[in-house]
């Protein structure tokens, strides 16, 4: 079936003898059930240590960038779980993120409930909302662009509701008092937030990595590749799409709570704006949708680029965004499968080339 197809696509490079080809083969992580090889683990390890040491090396501003990369990557991975793995493209993921942020923040500011508990509540509420949205969408068979637009509409609905409802603070938003207490989910210095973000990202990435070898993971992929065929084989597509959506939503809610605790202010646009949803998708497109490490690579590319364009072009109003947009456009045109997809293709080409030459 489809998993065999994927494995076959990967198994191409059987006899690599050229160095670059074999190096790429070892380093590239694909959407197969492959395990990480030793060189890959070493690279990941080195990068992780590097990240964890940044608080010692960098200024607050650069640390903010690192944290930004980690949280963007985290949110992108949440989206990846849903959209990359099961192929249901959501364009309104900000909804789950925002619900998480608002739930924990309102519970804390208005009712004095500890943010750690608020975090769990946020996950619950987000999960329930996701179940509702999922039920409406999947039961009525919304797919592809229709599903994407529907999720966008749901997100906008939340934005309007939150903006106009007094009990939810309306347009004023929620401001969280600054403290350095761990008990109140504020981790003191930037370093604290960085470690937490790192842990969150590691956990979800590990989860995404492991899932592929489980039955559930295989079913996700089956649904993504060909839902009708999957159903014909007896896989309950509805159930697995729901699971992916709810899990993705709950994890996104955690991201939302983290944002609220880090920036200490949220409002309907910050939480439910269209740009927020896009920010979950862009890293995946750049890195490779449906891959384990793609979103992280994507976040690591796009965030510094927008920082650089912001500071380099600050005196030419508007140029920074033109450049950002152009980069997005060019990346999609030239590397539609993302960085990882590109590397895979190169590897296959190298392998083929060697074969014909040999």
Identify residues 113-152 at the interface with another protein (CB under 8 A): 136-137, 140, 142, 144-146, 148-150, 152
What residues numbered 150-179 form the site for another protein, per CB under 8 A? 150, 152-154, 156-157, 160-161, 163-164, 170-173, 175, 177-178
Residue 190 CB, shortest distance to another protein, in Å, is: 8
Applying CB under 8 A, which of residues 30, 258, 324, 344 lies at the interface with another protein?
Answer: 324
DSSP for 23-82 reads HHHHH---SSSPPPPHHHHHHHHHHHHHHHHHHHHS-HHHHHHHHHHHHHHHHHHHHIII
What residues numbered 245-264 form the site for another protein, per CB under 8 A? 259, 263-264
185 contacts another protein (rule: CB under 8 A): no
80 Rama sector, left if φ>0, alpha if ψ -120 to 50, beta otherwise: alpha
DSSP for 168-195 reads GTGGG-EEPPP---GGGT--SSHHHHHH
Residue 214 CB, shortest distance to another protein, in Å, is: 25
Residue 13 CB, shortest distance to another protein, in Å, is: 16
- Cα separations in angstroms, 142 against 95, 96, 232, 277: 18, 19, 19, 19
- Taking the C-alpha atoms of residue 19 and residue 26, their distance in angstroms, rounded to an integer, is 11
Half-sphere exposure for 110 (CA within 13 Å, toward CB): 12
Closer to another protein by Cβ: residue 21 or 121: 21
Closer to another protein by Cβ: residue 114 or 164: 164
What residues numbered 43-62 form the site for another protein, per CB under 8 A? 54, 57-62
Closer to another protein by Cβ: residue 121 or 134: 134
What residues numbered 223-242 form the site for another protein, per CB under 8 A? none
Residue 324 CB, shortest distance to another protein, in Å, is: 7
Task: Sort 54 into a burial class: Cβ within 10 Å, 0-12 / 13-18 / 19+.
Answer: middle
What residues numbered 328-347 form the site for another protein, per CB under 8 A? 328-336, 339, 342-343, 345-346
Closer to another protein by Cβ: residue 246 or 281: 281
Residue 243 CB, shortest distance to another protein, in Å, is: 21
**Cβ contacts of 143 within 8 Å, gap of 6 or more:** 88, 227
Contact 260, 176 (CB under 8 A): yes
CA angle, corner 318, sides to 313 and 324, nearest 5?
A: 70
Residues in the chain, total: 358
Residue 331 CB, shortest distance to another protein, in Å, is: 7
What residues numbered 190-229 form the site for another protein, per CB under 8 A? none
What residues numbered 272-311 form the site for another protein, per CB under 8 A? 273-275, 278, 281-282, 285, 289, 300-301, 303-305, 307-308, 310-311
């Amino acid at each position: 079936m489809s998993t065999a197809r994927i494995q076959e696509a990967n198994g191409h490079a059987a006899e690599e003898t050229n160095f670059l080809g074999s190096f790429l083969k070892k380093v590239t992580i694909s959407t197969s059930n492959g395990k990480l090889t030793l060189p890959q683990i070493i690279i990941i390890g080195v990068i992780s240590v590097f990240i964890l040491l940044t608080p010692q090396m960098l200024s607050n501003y650069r640390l903010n960038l690192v944290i930004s990369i980690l949280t963007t990557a985290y949110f992108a991975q949440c989206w990846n779980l849903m959209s990359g793995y099961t192929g249901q493209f959501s364009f309104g993921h900000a909804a789950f993120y925002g619900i998480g942020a608002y739930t924990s923040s309102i519970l804390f500011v208005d009712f004095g409930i500890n943010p750690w508990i608020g975090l769990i509540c946020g996950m619950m509420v987000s999960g329930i909302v996701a179940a509702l949205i999922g039920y409406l969408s999947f039961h009525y068979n919304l797919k592809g662009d229709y599903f994407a637009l529907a999720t966008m509409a749901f997100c906008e609905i939340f934005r309007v509701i939150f903006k106009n409802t007094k009990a939810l603070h309306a347009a004023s938003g929620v401001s969280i008092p600054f403290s350095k207490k761990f008990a109140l989910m504020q981790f003191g210095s930037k370093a604290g937030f960085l470690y937490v973000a790192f842990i969150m990202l590691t956990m979800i990435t590990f989860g995404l990595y492991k899932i592929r070898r489980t039955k559930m993971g295989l079913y996700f992929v089956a649904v993504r590749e060909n839902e009708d065929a999957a159903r014909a084989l007896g896989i309950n597509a509805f159930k697995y799409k729901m699971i992916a959506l709810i899990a993705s939503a709950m994890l996104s809610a955690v991201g939302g709570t983290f944002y609220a605790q880090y920036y200490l202010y949220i409002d309907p646009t910050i939480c439910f704006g269209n740009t927020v949803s896009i920010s979950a998708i862009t890293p995946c497109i750049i890195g490779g949708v449906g891959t384990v490490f793609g979103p992280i690579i994507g976040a690591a590319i796009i965030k510094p680029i927008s920082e650089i364009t912001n500071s380099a072009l600050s005196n030419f109003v508007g140029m920074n965004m033109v450049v950002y947009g152009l980069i997005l456009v060019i990346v999609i045109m030239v590397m539609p499968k993302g960085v990882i997809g590109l590397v895979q293709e190169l590897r296959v080409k190298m392998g083929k080339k060697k074969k014909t030459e040999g």
